[in-house]
């Protein structure tokens, strides 16, 4: 049996010292744990000053401080980068932390950004509110306005274009190839929030930076937060120092939980996407359901684009519940038994979110109309319950 050894080898060590300076046994070559350990340590050390100095001077690789690098976090970064078809990634404490760190690293006063009204509200608030205070200019367009995008690129020396597909919450599909072609023509960096589509989608497209909220499908259980920026290694190297200075990097225990969730990622995503297709087809036959949005339905305006770009159609559905005001919305939501009113997505539980209240409070009346968000619009995140039970719950609430 392996014995505990000590970092200090004095035979006169007292128990108070022993209880601090022990270390676990070294494993034999070829002998490793099946489940990766959690390196729950802020600090790492070496046997000599020369080794530490070599690391800090960039002459050697290793770990010294977990805000900068940690083995558990590095394992997660490598996994997600490979799944997205890139060779570099940086993990963050949340999806918002990921997009914020990327924006602060890449932009300066006077730069211009293009974003879209069909996007995650915190991303709009970051660019239109916080970055605006620091002198970063922006243009807000509709996600399908490719002609308008080129006009902006012609008039402005744009640094970044930021978009998502499918969009949150109304599930529009961006023409990624068209956006990337224009960005390449005008030398604009592309940033895509790929959270809804997942790590198995869009990796073959020429996106410069992917952003993911690991809180959703990667974690898969609604009990840990995280975010990730994925890109080619040379782009990640440019981001890395700024990101470490900003400091909202991922905790190793959170990384461990997300790694655990990733073991069932494909099973969960396939099951939820299959359930979403079944439920969307069922809702499409109900006369009380208006403005049903699911990219896998033939009637969706972006169906053919989604079919060309994606391996599947995702796990999200949006529609207008019966009625025309907040009271009607409340009545529908309160009738639901299985669906829970909550933010986020990608967990085993199926969720329903009131879109205007959660995702549209920063938009004006005309912007809400253009984005397709009405008084009773709801967004469904389909979980892992039986699709028949979920559809029955929706149908009884629609009566």
- The pLDDT score that the predictor gives to residue 26 is 86
Q: Would the pLDDT of 202 be above 90?
A: yes
All structural domains of the chain, each given as residue ranges with its CATH number in brackets, are 71-262 (3.40.640.10), 265-398 (3.90.1150.10)
Per-position b or e across 74-110, b if 16+ CB within 10 A of its CB: bbbbebbbebbebebbbbbbbbbbbbbbbbbbbbeee
- The pLDDT score that the predictor gives to residue 334 is 98
- Would you place residue 19 in the very low, low, confident or very high pLDDT band (cuts 50, 70, 90)? confident
- Would you place residue 21 in the very low, low, confident or very high pLDDT band (cuts 50, 70, 90)? confident
Per-residue pLDDT reduced to its tens digit, 143-179: 999 999 999 999 999 999 999 999 999 999 999 999 9
Within 8 A by CB and 6+ apart from 336, the residues are 352, 393, 394, 397
Q: How far is CA 226 from CA 80, 177, 189, 231, 342, in A?
A: 12, 28, 24, 17, 18
Say if residues 211 and 336 touch (Cβ distance below 8 Å).
no
Separation of alpha carbons 128 and 244, rounded Å: 24
């Amino acid at each position: 049996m392996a014995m505990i050894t000590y970092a200090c080898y004095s035979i006169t060590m007292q128990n108070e010292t022993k209880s601090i300076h022990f270390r676990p046994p070294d494993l034999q070559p070829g002998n490793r744990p099946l489940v990766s350990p959690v390196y729950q340590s802020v600090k790492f050390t070496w046997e000599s000053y020369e080794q530490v100095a070599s690391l800090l001077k960039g002459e050697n690789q290793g770990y010294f401080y977990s805000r900068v690098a940690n083995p558990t976090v590095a394992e997660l970064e490598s996994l997600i980068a490979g799944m997205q078809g890139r060779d570099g990634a940086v993990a963050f404490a949340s999806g918002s932390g990921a997009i914020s760190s990327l924006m602060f690293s890449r932009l300066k006063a006077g730069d211009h950004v293009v974003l879209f009204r069909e996007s995650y509200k915190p991303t709009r608030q970051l660019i239109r509110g916080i970055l605006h205070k620091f002198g970063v200019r922006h243009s807000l367009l509709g996600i399908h306005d490719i002609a308008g995008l080129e006009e902006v690129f012609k008039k402005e020396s744009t640094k970044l274009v930021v978009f998502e597909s499918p969009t949150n919450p109304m599930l529009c599909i961006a023409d990624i190839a068209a956006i990337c072609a224009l960005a390449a023509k005008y030398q604009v960096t592309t940033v895509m929030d790929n959270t809804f589509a997942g790590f198995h989608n869009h990796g073959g497209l020429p996106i410069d930076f992917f952003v993911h909220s690991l809180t959703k499908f990667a974690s898969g259980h609604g009990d840990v937060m995280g975010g990730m920026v994925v890109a080619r290694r040379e782009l990640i190297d440019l981001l890395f120092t700024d990101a470490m200075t900003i400091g909202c990097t991922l905790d190793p225990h959170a990384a461990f939980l997300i790694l655990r969730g990733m073991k069932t990622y494909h099973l969960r995503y396939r099951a939820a996407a299959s359930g979403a297709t079944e439920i969307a087809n069922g809702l499409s036959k109900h006369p009380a359901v208006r403005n049903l949005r699911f990219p896998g339905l033939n009637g969706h305006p972006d169906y053919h684009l989604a079919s060309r770009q994606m391996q599947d159609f995702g796990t999200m559905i949006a529609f207008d519940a019966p009625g025309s005001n907040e009271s009607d919305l409340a009545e529908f939501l309160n009738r639901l038994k299985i669906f829970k009113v909550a933010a986020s997505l990608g967990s085993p539980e199926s969720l329903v979110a009131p879109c205007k209240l959660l995702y549209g409070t920063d938009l004006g009346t005309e912007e809400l109309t253009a984005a397709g968000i009405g008084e009773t619009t709801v967004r469904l995140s389909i979980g892992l319950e039986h699709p028949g039970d979920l559809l029955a719950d929706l149908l009884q609430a629609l009566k």
